[in-house]
Every structure is written in C-alpha cells, then in structure tokens.
A and B are shown apart, each in its own frame.
Chain A
Amino acid sequence: EAQVTQNPRYLITVTGKKLTVTCSQNMNHEYMSWYRQDPGLGLRQIYYSMNVEVTDKGDVPEGYKVSRKEKRNFPLILESPSPNQTSLYFCASSLIGGRHGYTFGSGTRLTVV
C-alpha cells in the first residue's frame, strides 16, 4: 500500500530534550515536506526537500532541523524542544511539480512540557 509512515503518533517530552520524528514513504517521491498544524493557524510548512541531500526552509523553520540521506526518509529533528513547539506535525510527500498534491502521514501529536 502506498503510504507515508510517521512515528511516533503521540509524544510527550520535556523542554530541552532532543527528539526525532521519523517519516518514511514508499512511493519513490522526490518531494517531501514537514508541516505543523495549530488551531486557528492552519498548516504551516517547516522544511521541504526536493531530493536526496537537497533541503530548504519553509515558513516556520526556527527550532527544527531535517535531513534527507535517503530518498524514502525525511526525519524531523528538534534539538532543544520548547513548549511553543507543542503542535500536530504532518509529513507529506509528492512527485515533483505542483499538480500532484501531497500524500500525508497520519500525524504526530507532540507535547512539550
């Protein structure tokens, strides 16, 4: 089944403790992206990647890092999480080009206390 797999689904952590949210897709998509979803603010792009070793900032990159060492994987790293990073996070992938739309993962609900 074609899908984007995120882990974990739920995570509660403490301020300053490094964490990684994994994302993997099995569709051979070149484009991958991370979004956060907050009430009243909709979805905002954090980082995106056009292909292996090619990443760039989205609209809200502060406090996040990503890497793209393999085509299928695009982990999101929070080096020192803070409470304002409490949010619902989605990974998405797509073929290159704006006409295809995204395939989304099921989301990761992160709480930083």
Chain B
Amino acid sequence: AQSVTQLGSHVSVSEGALVLLRCNYSSSVPPYLFWYVQYPNQGLQLLLKYTSAATLVKGINGFEAEFKKSETSFHLTKPSAHMSDAAEYFCAVSQRESSNYQLIWGAGTKLIIKP
C-alpha cells in the first residue's frame, strides 16, 4: 500500500519569505500526486497536481511543486509568503485498488505566517 509523509505538522515563516512544505511518498509505480489546501472551516481545494507530464507543476495562488522520482518527493514551494496563505496543506497520492481510485493522504502541515 502506498503512503504519504509530510514532514512537520506545523511550519512557520515570515511574510515575504520562502514557503517550503515537504512531501514524500512511497510508490512502486509512477504516481499521480496532489496538493490540497484547507482554510479554516472550509473544504479542501486543489492547489496543483502531477500526472506524469512536466516535473515542475504550477498551481494556483503562486504555488508550485517539483516531482523528483529519485527522491520520491513532491515538495510544495512559494517564493514569497502572504498572510492569506495561512492554512493547512495536504499532500496526497492516487492509489488504485480494484475499482477504487482512492487518494492516500498525508497528515497535513499547518502553515503559519508571521507578520
């Protein structure tokens, strides 16, 4: 079974600083990978996805992620943090078991932005 590990349950950065949220996955086959964002009291919104095209994927709100097969990583970055980026971020990998295209989720990382 596949698994997803997000390093750091909380990450704190200053406004304007680089955001780096780490995600590693275990998969024996090329995966489909996703980053979702959850704002307080809201549902999950797709930020970006990797589906075996370009390894550098650009998403919404200035975020991007790079798929590195050799490191089994899919880290999320943003050059300059804004206060509005404060949220919880989830990395997920798509796993197929018989007919179920289930998403396997990391535990999430809460991003805290310091003024």
The CA-CA distance from A56 to B52 in the complex, in Å, is 28
Give B7-64 interface residues, CB cut-off 8 Å to A: 32, 34, 36, 41-46, 49, 51
| Set of chain A residues within 8 Å of B112, measured between Cβ atoms | none
- Closest Cβ of chain B to A103, distance in Å, is 8
- Closest Cβ of chain A to B27, distance in Å, is 11
Say which size band chain B's interface belongs to. Answer: 20 to 34
A42 touching B106, Cβ below 8 Å: yes
Q: Is B80's CB within 8 Å of the partner chain A?
A: no
The 8 Å CB contact of B43, one of A33, A40, A104, is: A104
A43 touching B90, Cβ below 8 Å: yes
Give A58-104 interface residues, CB cut-off 8 Å to B: 58, 90, 94, 96-99, 101-104
- Closest Cβ of chain A to B43, distance in Å, is 4
Query: Which of A43, A48, A94 is the most central at the interface, judged by chain B CB atoms within 10 Å of its CB?
Result: A43
| Set of chain B residues within 8 Å of A104, measured between Cβ atoms | 36, 43-45
Known: A42-B108, A90-B43, A99-B51. A48 touches B102 (CB 8 A): yes
Known: A99-B94, A104-B44, A106-B42. A40 touches B107 (CB 8 A): yes
B105 touching A42, Cβ below 8 Å: yes
Q: What are 22 inter-chain pairs, A to B, with CB distance below 8 A?
A: A4-B43, A31-B101, A42-B105, A42-B106, A42-B108, A43-B105, A48-B102, A54-B99, A90-B43, A94-B101, A96-B101, A98-B94, A99-B51, A99-B94, A101-B32, A101-B94, A104-B43, A104-B44, A104-B45, A105-B43, A106-B43, A107-B43
Binding site for A on B (CB under 8 A): 32, 34, 36, 41-46, 49, 51, 90, 94-96, 99-103, 105-108
Given A56-B99, A101-B32, A103-B46, 15 additional A-B pairs, CB 8 A? A31-B101, A42-B105, A48-B102, A54-B99, A56-B100, A58-B102, A90-B43, A98-B95, A98-B101, A99-B32, A101-B46, A102-B103, A104-B43, A107-B42, A107-B43
